[in-house]
């Protein structure tokens, strides 16, 4: 039995990763985010790809107190010796509700662009996608935000960078046009949120939609370290998780 | 009840992270790894700090098939719809045995440097640390490797970059001197492994030893994405996890 | 802000759980499995319910080496100090592929029984469900097994107990009839597997299908303890996880 | 390469678990908790062992809102499709702070009893253990509780059952005597908490202290199902996790 992989192997003298010599070619030459790219495209990103990727990951790795970061802190409270468990606990909620949207946007756009015929304008395609989802009773992922209305400040920033670096291509154009049409239909300005922007831009970077969410998960692992660091700094007496737990303990209404 | 944080908060129009405006100051301006730095130092790294940090993280994020990546792939096999769970499963083994060493090296070096008096040379300090650990029956973390003998190729590379960028300071010098003395005592060349190099260099970057392992955990999350990507590419028929499971199933010796 | 719950609350002198006094009413009076029942039905099970529930959980808590138990052991290898992480890692693969089937069976049966009209015989209903799933391109969950052919030994045992205890009701009858018809259509004996039996029996115990998988997850946590116990007994030298990792390390075919 | 195990193996017609035929010997004959016993002792428990074990597990599987159950609910909020992830997240905090005590009590008692010589009375042994821990600067695990003062209602209940069933043996007697002496020394009644009772009783059931915490982890998995069930019942609008998150969001004091 042999187990095949393109990822890597260690020998006595070298570590190979995706065809590169880890020590000679990668350490010191690429950024952490580029390893994600290498992992899914099996080549080093260009300088522009690296910049674009880092920008999108920065946009989603940290949001302050969220269910994810609170879960991490609560886990740290009970198991401070196992930081990996606290990080893992914070990742486990990256399911359909918050993180899924990125993937659904990418899937929607990638499938639409794939079956676009050469005579269809982006306007026509956008109209078709909106209409089809309506008929299927599906929501439009990437639109709306409970705080950032009518503009999610990350969205225009990411699209501006995408334009500058050459990644504002078919998928992003389609999403932007869908946004226009959707706002017109609704008669008001609806937020094009950061998950929409990321799903579109990663699609324009040719990342398979099935891997889009995993990028967010990795970025989030980075963000969670900051929360654990703050719990360490605060110490037990000023621990947010401890205060949160005590608050709940003192405000529980038990009705069997 | 108010929950205090330095990390961040969203308002309708802005997202603030560690005193920076996420959209204006961070997206497009820093790398993913820099968010780790921001999380523990609460300021953006300098260009050299960013380079050094990315180099150290690249050195540990991917090693091919390991207990961690196999665990991730086996988890993906059962729950392909929950990529976050597969990543989390791969992180959970980042405990004392493999990942702990980085932290123990950093702790050993930081505590030694802290209590160094001004008349002690680095040679004297190194001798004291080795002697003290011997007397306490403690191993020297950061030394030895089951494959890379007598040189872990990542170690000289990382120290070369550290020297170039100005991070080969007291902690690294102490570890390098300890390595010299230890090899002399043993009468043979013993590997100074990558966890040693990382523990020393992060210490020279002034990262608290209690946070060193969390950097490795975040880097590992990035690496694990590549393993899940390969499982997706392979499909169920060529899945490494599936083959591994079947191999074990067919080679189990059951003796109750 | 008050957080409402039916589950429980501690005061200085008592712990209340679902309306019961934990120390007086529950400890010593119910089995661990009954807490699952209490958790979803908010009352103690009858003696027969408790027996049936324990029987179904025993049927799924342990299968020897599986992707789940291997993942647990590999995690323990790196983090022996964090047994909770090893258990958690083994649970994380309880997704759609292996554990989902129980839930899908229960959902299929519960929805079918709910819309059954009073004139329909069980034979008619079974035929409709099979036909509908065929038309929708959906597989029939609960049928087939890669090892146990043509009989999964757990299935007849569970249904025999269900009959004895009075839980072989509409849902189980429907599944058994579907199995008959399906085998006739295929012209061969197809396994009615344990996930089918459990999905049907828990439905006849009136457990909402959305909670069926969580029972299996809890049972699996119990089973995983045995795997970690065996790793502890074996010690590092005879660790299955260590041997597995080394085997893979020595049988890796790297093609970048 | 053969992987050895005592746990189990499936063949076409049978499933063997620890030397028993799963379908014939175990399903319908033992309780879920007994599988824990089987996993660590490799034999079925006696009726009294089964009762005692179920009693101890009931005592720790559910406490209402805790950091663990809140973490589970917050995880469910983001990933309702992955219940296994929510359960796992709730287990991950079972580290040194809350769950460790059980293990530390068991370790303390098992080591003390092991080196007890035949001339030592239980009073002398208790005095020695207290004195030794004092000299080593170690706390006494199993004593104190932030809510249940001066009596944790689970403790007398568990010891009463242990006495009735024949498990109030050397380890429990030692802990009870230590409690007496400790209260006398302090001049006040200090709580002998449930983790103390469980650590002592499991020791008297001859469970290796290294496995004691894993029993609590498995029991907790059962308890967490109830929290997820309540979130499902409540629905998104009445979700405790959602309310908790919103409360924190609206009461965050951000000071960079």
A8/B63 touch (CB, cutoff 8 Å), yes or no:
yes
Asked if B217 contacts A87 with a C-beta cutoff of 8 angstroms, the reply is yes
C84/D213 touch (CB, cutoff 8 Å), yes or no:
yes
**What tens digit of pLDDT does each residue of C181-196 get?**
999 999 999 999 999 9
**What tens digit of pLDDT does each residue of B88-123 get?**
999 999 999 988 999 999 999 999 999 999 899 999
Tokens for A254? 């038990």
**What tens digit of pLDDT does each residue of C212-246 get?**
999 999 999 999 999 999 999 999 989 999 999 99
B15/A63 touch (CB, cutoff 8 Å), yes or no:
yes
- Report A:60-119 residues touching C (Cβ under 8 A): 79, 81-82, 84-85, 88, 92
User: What is the secondary structure of chain C as a DSSP string?
Assistant: --EEESSEEE-SS-EEETTEEIIIIITTTS-HHHHHHHHHHSSPPPHHHHHHHHHHHHHHS--SS-HHHHHHHHHHHH-TT-HHHHHHHHHTT-STTTTHHHHHHHHHHHHHHHH--TT--HHHHHHHHHHHHHHTT---TTB--SSS-S--THHHHHHHHHHHHT---HHHHHHHHHHHHHHHHHTS---B-HHHHHHHHHHHTT--HHHHHHHHHHHHHHHHHHHHHHHHHHTGGG-HHHHHHHHHHHTEEE--
Instruction: Choose the closest CB to A16 out of C4, C85, C254.
Output: C254
What pLDDT sits at residue D4?
Answer: 96
Interacting residues of A39 by C-beta distance below 8 A, sequence separation 6+: A7, A18, B62, B222, B223, B225, B226, B227, B229
Helix (H, G, I), strand (E, B) or coil at A159: helix
| Per-block mean pLDDT, blocks of 10 residues, chain A (256 long) | 93 93 97 97 97 98 94 97 98 93 97 94 97 95 93 97 98 98 97 97 98 97 98 95 96 93
Question: H or E stretch including D252?
Answer: strand D252-254
**What tens digit of pLDDT does each residue of D113-126 get?**
999 998 999 999 99
What pLDDT sits at residue D190?
Answer: 97
Segment D69-90 mean pLDDT? 98
Residues of chain C with pLDDT > 90, as a percent, come to 94
Instruction: Choose the closest CB to B214 out of A10, A161, A228.
Output: A228
Q: Which residues of B touch A69 (CB under 8 A)?
A: 7
What is the residue whose two structure tokens read 């002398």? D124
d(CA C122, CA C113): 9
At B256, is the pLDDT very low, low, confident or very high (cuts 50, 70, 90)?
A: confident
pLDDT of residue B231 exceeding 90: yes
Torsion sign over Cα D227, D231, D234, D240: positive
A189 class by beta-carbon count within 10 Å (0-12 exposed, 13-18 middle, 19+ buried): exposed
Find, in chain C, the residue whose alpha carbon is nearest to that of B89.
C89
What pLDDT sits at residue C63?
Answer: 85
Whether a cis peptide bond, with omega within 30° of 0, leads into A150 is yes
What pLDDT sits at residue B179?
Answer: 98
Q: Is some CB atom of chain A closer than 8 A to the CB atom of C233?
A: no
Q: Which residues of D touch A93 (CB under 8 A)?
A: 74-79, 85-86, 89
How far A95 CA lies from chain B's nearest CA (Å)?
Answer: 7
Tell me the count of A-C CB pairs closer than 8 A: 77
A217/B51 touch (CB, cutoff 8 Å), yes or no:
no
A93/D79 touch (CB, cutoff 8 Å), yes or no:
yes
C59/D22 touch (CB, cutoff 8 Å), yes or no:
yes
What pLDDT sits at residue B235?
Answer: 96
**How many C-alpha atoms does C161 have within 13 Å on its Cβ side?**
28
Q: Is some CB atom of chain A closer than 8 A to the CB atom of D2?
A: no
What pLDDT sits at residue B8?
Answer: 93
Q: Phi, psi (5° rounding) for residue C130?
A: -60, -45
User: pTM, whole model, 2 decimals?
Assistant: 0.97
Tokens for A229? 């660091």
Instruction: Choose the closest CB to D85 out of A79, A80, A92.
Output: A92
Q: Which residues of D touch A256 (CB under 8 A)?
A: none
The gap from C-alpha D72 to its chain's centroid, in whole angstroms, comes to 18
ipTM, two decimals: 0.96
C5/A81 touch (CB, cutoff 8 Å), yes or no:
no
Q: Is some CB atom of chain D closer than 8 A to the CB atom of C202?
A: no
Considering chain D, what is the average pLDDT of its residues? 96
Instruction: Choose the closest CB to D243 out of C3, C88, C218.
Output: C3
Scanning chain D, the segments in alpha helix (DSSP H) are 32-41, 47-60, 67-78, 83-91, 100-115, 122-135, 154-165, 170-186, 194-204, 209-234, 240-250
Scanning chain B, the segments in alpha helix (DSSP H) are 32-41, 47-60, 67-78, 83-91, 100-115, 122-135, 154-165, 170-186, 194-204, 209-234, 240-250
Asked if C162 contacts C52 with a C-beta cutoff of 8 angstroms, the reply is yes
Residues of chain C with pLDDT > 70, as a percent, come to 100
pLDDT of residue D75 exceeding 90: yes
Helix (H, G, I), strand (E, B) or coil at A143: strand
Question: H or E stretch including A109?
Answer: helix A100-115
How far D113 CA lies from chain A's nearest CA (Å)?
Answer: 29
What pLDDT sits at residue D1?
Answer: 86
Tokens for C50? 């408790």
Q: Which residues of C touch B145 (CB under 8 A)?
A: none
pLDDT of residue B1 exceeding 90: no
A70/D96 touch (CB, cutoff 8 Å), yes or no:
no
d(CA C207, CA C106): 9
Helix (H, G, I), strand (E, B) or coil at A166: coil
Subunits that touch chain A (at least 3 Cβ pairs < 8 angstroms)? B, C, D
Q: Which residues of A touch B213 (CB under 8 A)?
A: 83-84
What pLDDT sits at residue B195?
Answer: 96
Segment D224-253 mean pLDDT? 96
What pLDDT sits at residue A98?
Answer: 85
Subunits that touch chain B (at least 3 Cβ pairs < 8 angstroms)? A, C, D
- Report C:18-37 residues touching D (Cβ under 8 A): 18, 22-24, 26-28, 30-33, 35-36
Find, in chain A, the residue whose alpha carbon is nearest to that of C253.
A4
**What tens digit of pLDDT does each residue of C159-175 get?**
999 999 999 999 999 99
D229/C63 touch (CB, cutoff 8 Å), yes or no:
no
Subunits that touch chain D (at least 3 Cβ pairs < 8 angstroms)? A, B, C
pLDDT of residue C43 exceeding 90: yes
């Amino acid at each position: 039995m042999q187990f095949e992989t393109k990822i890597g192997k260690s020998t006595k003298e070298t570590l190979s990763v995706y065809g590169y010599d880890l020590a000679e070619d990668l350490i010191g030459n690429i950024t952490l985010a580029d390893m994600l790219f290498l992992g899914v495209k099996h080549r080093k990103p260009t300088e522009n790809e690296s910049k674009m990727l880092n920008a999108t990951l920065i946009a989603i790795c940290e949001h302050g107190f969220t269910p994810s970061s609170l879960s991490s802190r609560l886990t740290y409270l009970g198991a401070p010796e196992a930081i990996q468990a606290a990080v893992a606990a914070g990742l486990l909620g990256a399911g359909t509700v918050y993180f899924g949207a990125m993937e659904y946007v990418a899937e929607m756009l990638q499938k639409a662009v794939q079956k676009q015929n050469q005579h269809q304008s982006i306007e026509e395609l956008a109209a078709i996608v909106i209409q089809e989802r309506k008929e299927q009773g599906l929501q439009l992922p990437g639109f709306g935000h409970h705080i950032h209305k009518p503009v999610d400040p990350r969205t225009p920033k990411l699209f501006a960078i995408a334009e500058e670096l050459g990644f504002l291509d078919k998928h992003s154009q389609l999403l932007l046009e869908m946004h226009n049409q959707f706002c017109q239909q609704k008669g008001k300005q609806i937020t094009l949120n950061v998950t929409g922007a990321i799903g579109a831009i990663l699609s324009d970077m040719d990342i398979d939609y099935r891997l889009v969410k995993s990028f967010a998960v990795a970025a989030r692992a980075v963000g969670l370290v900051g929360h654990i660091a703050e719990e360490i700094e605060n110490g037990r007496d000023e621990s947010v998780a401890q205060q949160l737990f005590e608050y709940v303990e003192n405000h529980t209404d038990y009705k069997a």
